[in-house]
Structure 1
Amino acid sequence: MFYDNEISMGIMEKKYLQPGETPEQWLDRVVSIFSPDLQDDIRYAISQADFLPAGRTLAGAGLKGKRKMSTSNCYICPSPKDNIESIFDTAKMVARISSYGGGCGIALDNLRPKDALVNNSARTSTGAVSFLNLFDTTGSIIGQAGRRAALMVGLRCDHPDIYEFLRVKENNEKLASMNISIKFTNEFMEAVRDHKKFHLHFESVHENIERDIDAAEFFEEFCKVNADWGDPGCIFIDRVRSYHLLSGYPEYQIDISNP
């Protein structure tokens, strides 16, 4: 079997076996979630490493009623609305999913940019990017049996905080629990190709924030930061929305991927 060596067993014990569980017991547990007529074939396929379910399935399958563990690797959280209640509701969701071992995808598109007006004692917002620390800390505190939380956070390319988002990992070592990605649109990439200006904007009840940037200049800077730091990555969000299985249903719109 694929786990019949010291290295493989070390990985299995750390990531997939329950305390005191043998590989044979683990295999019985994992195949138990499949239809009885498929279990022998799946047992053989897994033992030969020809077929393996997702990691969280390998860890949590067959444990219903015994341990609270996710059997899916990743989830998408609803994009938080531009208010404290919604932002912390999302943080609560991150905490719960992380406690079960799952990863979370979050889009910050709706959050107002830095220095935008707010109707509370702060007077101005700390910006969409500032909430990266909230979600990262939430995931880090919860912990997952020695595994760090898995988070993917994205921001649309026309958000006024996009330059701050681009540079945030250069100066913030605390964001270890997350990957971040800029959501590039077809319109932006066409502006890069044609060396045109690209419009950043955010509309709120208090004000409209707008400015133009040089698309090609920003994209070149993005490429350099990505090469140096690995983050942010990029999601070509229009392509994603055009080619997923439910793309024919306008009411179903993908805002972010999972980790």
Structure 2
Amino acid sequence: MPGEPFPQFPPSPLFPRERSDPAPGAVLLPGWLTLAEQRELVAACREWARPPAGLRTVRLPTGGEMSVRTVCLGWHWYPYGYARTVVDGGGEPVKAFPPLLGRLALRAVADAYGPGPGRADLRPGIAGATAYEPDVALVNHYAEGARMGLHRDRDERVDAPVVSLSLGDSCVFRLGNTETRTRPWTDLELHSGDLLVFGGPSRFAYHGVVRTHFGSAEPELGLSGRLNITVRQSGMA
């Protein structure tokens, strides 16, 4: 809420965090990325953020600006569509979708919906999970005080799952319902290295970041703020 203080550090968990299913079709796998994989992604994000078609501030149709800064890969996202060039900027061609993210996204969907205790029947019920072909990624950087309002990822032409990777500062992620921005919702604390996948009944749920714990990142990452990488299948040729 406006005026709410931002804690510098989140509370430390007393017990190891386990896999959870916060909503039908939504899967949280804590610590999914190793520290080495996190370092590799942070270094890659720095390269992707360079111009041309680098990190930018997105202006909304209402005239406001998002508090996060974004770089797009594979397809350029703008409110509310996709293009092959930075149509709301300098017109540069968008950077290619990296094979690294493709491999991670395929592994993520398999780990989230593949066979396991209590999960054997999930994959057939998740649209797009059996033929997942990721081709677009958005990298969002959350500096101190940045948030993301509740929204739905609905600019894609298919309902394949969304893969979300967290790097750096932890945050409070709000996973809502598919009808409104109001309750019911579930607040999740996401830490660096966590994987969140949402598909099936949760694919078009409202979601956002209500708080970032600035300064909580692992020092070895050399990262100020939070990076969130979301990988999607656009359904476009």
Query: TM-score with structure 1 length normalisation?
Result: 0.28
Could you say which structure has the higher strand fraction?
2
Which protein shows a greater Rg? 1
User: Larger relative CO (CA 8 A, sep 6+): 1 or 2?
Assistant: 2
Could you say which structure has the higher helix fraction?
1
